[in-house]
Amino acid sequence: MSLSIFFQNLINAISLGFLFALIAIGYTMVYGVLRLINFAHGDIFMMAAFFVFYTMTIFSLPWGIACLVAIVLTMLLGLSVERVAYRPLRNAPRISSLCSAIGVSFLLENFAVVVFGGRPKSFYCPEFFTKTFILGGVRVLGINFVTPLVSIVFLSLLSYLVYRTKNGLAMRAISKDFDTARLMGINIDRTISFTFMIGSGLAAVGAILWASRYPQIWPFMGVFPGWRAFTAAIIGGIGSIRGAMVGGFLVGFISIMLVAFLPELAGYKDAFIFIALILVLLFKPEGLFGEE
Partner 1 sequence: MLKVDNLNVYYGGIHALKGISFEVEEGKIVTLIGANGAGKSTTLKTICSLVKAKEGKIIFKDQEITNLSTEQIVKRGLVLIPEGRKIFPNLTVQENLALGAFIREDKEKIAQDQEWVGELFPRLKERWWQKGGTLSGGEQQMLAVARGLMSRPQLLMLDEPSLGLAPLLVKEIFEIIQQIHREGITILLVEQNAFAALKLADYAYVLETGRLVLQGKGEELLQKEEVRKAYLGE
SS3 category, 16: helix
Q: Count the site residues for partner 1 by CB under 8 A.
A: 18
Query: Is the separation of the CB atoms in 223 and 45 below 8 Å?
Result: no
Compose the 158-187 pattern: x for residues touching partner 1 by CB under 8 A, - for all others. Answer: --------x--xx-xx-xxx-xxxxxxxxx
Smallest distance, partner 1 to C-beta of residue 181, A: 8
Please tell me the distance from the alpha carbon of residue 88 to that of residue 95, in angstroms, as a whole number. Answer: 13
Q: How far is the CB of 76 from partner 1 (least distance, A)?
A: 24
| Contacts (CB under 8 A) with partner 1, residues 95-134 | none
Of the pair 102, 184, the CB lying nearest partner 1 is at 184
Contact present, 204 and 42 (Cβ < 8 Å): no
Residue 22 and residue 248 in contact, taking contact as beta carbons nearer than 8 Å: yes
Q: From CA 282, how far away is CA 211, in angstroms rounded?
A: 35
CB of 170 to partner 1, least distance (A): 7
- Identify which of residues 8 and 191 has a Cβ nearer to partner 1 in the complex: 191
Alpha-helical (H) ranges within 175-268 are: 178-183, 188-213, 223-236, 241-261
Which uninterrupted H or E stretch holds 130? helix 127-130
As measured in angstroms, the least distance from the Cβ of 173 to partner 1 is 6
The tally of CA atoms less than 13 A away on the side-chain side of residue 209 is 30
Nearer to partner 1, 28 or 105 (CB): 28
If one asks whether residue 57 binds partner 1 (CB under 8 A), the answer comes out as no
Q: One symbol per residue from 181 to 220: x for binding partner 1 (CB under 8 A), - otherwise; what is it? A: xxxxxxx---------------------------------
Binding site for partner 1 (CB under 8 A): 166, 169-170, 172-173, 175-177, 179-187, 291
